[in-house]
């Protein structure tokens, strides 16, 4: 019986290790894919935001941090604020920046109704596949407006809700499902004080099968 128990424990340990290695492989592939996408998309986003080498930009909802890393290299002497509401993303982004030897990235824990960014810290801000998850848009957009410098540009990159898609928990019902209509984005951001500049329906340009839009705003 003792030998059986030892064998069972050994097999269980092997299974756990196998799952961990599989998860590590999946994560490594995800990071590599996100970095590849960011290398293509970041220069196009920088153009829309009017980024210059000495500017500060906020990546709100940074996730794995790939866009923040690529933009940190693009702005050079500028600065990148990378925010997220999950500790995992914050840890990953800090480690990513350290591994890349970048010192111009500040990682900040975001809030449900606040960016938690310093007032008027950034000349450019963006949310990529994040806005449809915002649960308190009025409070959040007020904070977003306060975080932007006068003349700053804001890009919302998101997708319209799919047919019969489920509404994420806690978000307003006007999202219509998992995603958000661009008209709702424009209404909410202009209500917060931003001016709508333009909408690019297929983002990024050159994508053969685009599924997201980019709505560009400015703080006058």
Q: How many CA atoms lie within 13 A of 10 on its CB side?
A: 6
Mean pLDDT of 50-60: 96
Q: What pLDDT score was predicted for residue 10?
A: 47
Please report where in the chains the tokens 């800090």 appear, as a residue: 94
Q: pLDDT class for 18, splitting at 50, 70, 90?
A: very low
Q: pLDDT class for 46, splitting at 50, 70, 90?
A: very high
Mean pLDDT of 161-171: 93
- 214 close to 201: Cβ distance less than 8 angstroms: no
Structural domains of the chain in order of their starting residue, each with its CATH number = 38-218 (3.40.50.150)
* DSSP character string of 91-147: HHHHHHHHHHT--SEEEEE--SS---PPTT-EEEEEEES-GGG-S-HHHHHHHHHHH
- In this predicted structure, the answer to whether residue 22 has a pLDDT above a threshold of 80 is no
Mean pLDDT of 187-206: 97
| For the chain, counts of helices (H) and of strands (E) | 5, 7
Predicted TM-score (pTM) of the model is 0.87
- pLDDT tens-digit series, residues 138-156: 999 999 999 999 999 999 9
Q: What pLDDT score was predicted for residue 217?
A: 99
What's the CA gap between 111 and 135, in Å, rounded? 10
Share above pLDDT 90 across residues of the chain, in percent, rounded to a whole number: 82
Share above pLDDT 70 across residues of the chain, in percent, rounded to a whole number: 87
- pLDDT tens-digit series, residues 89-137: 999 999 999 999 999 999 999 999 999 999 999 999 999 999 999 999 9
Q: What pLDDT score was predicted for residue 82?
A: 98
3-state SS class at 160: coil
């Amino acid at each position: 019986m003792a030998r059986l128990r030892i064998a069972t424990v050994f097999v269980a340990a092997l299974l756990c290790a196998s799952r961990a290695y599989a998860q590590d492989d999946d994560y490594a592939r995800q990071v590599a894919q996100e970095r590849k996408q960011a290398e293509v998309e970041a220069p196009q986003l920088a153009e829309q935001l009017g980024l210059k080498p000495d500017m500060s930009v906020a990546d709100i909802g940074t996730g794995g941090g790939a866009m923040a890393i690529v933009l940190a290299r693009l702005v050079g002497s500028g600065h990148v604020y990378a925010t997220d509401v999950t500790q995992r993303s914050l840890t990953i982004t800090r480690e990513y920046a350290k591994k890349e030897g970048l010192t111009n990235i500040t990682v900040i824990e975001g809030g449900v109704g606040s960016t938690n960014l310093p007032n008027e810290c950034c000349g450019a801000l963006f949310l990529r596949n994040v806005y449809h998850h915002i649960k308190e848009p009025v409070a959040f957009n007020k904070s977003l407006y306060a975080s932007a410098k006068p003349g700053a540009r804001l890009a919302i990159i998101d997708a319209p809700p799919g047919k019969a898609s489920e509404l994420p928990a806690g978000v307003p019902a006007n999202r219509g499902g998992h995603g958000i209509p661009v008209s709702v984005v424009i209404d909410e951001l202009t209500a917060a004080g931003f001016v709508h500049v333009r909408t690019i329906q297929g983002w990024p340009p050159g994508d053969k099968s685009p599924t997201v839009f980019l709505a560009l705003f400015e703080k006058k």
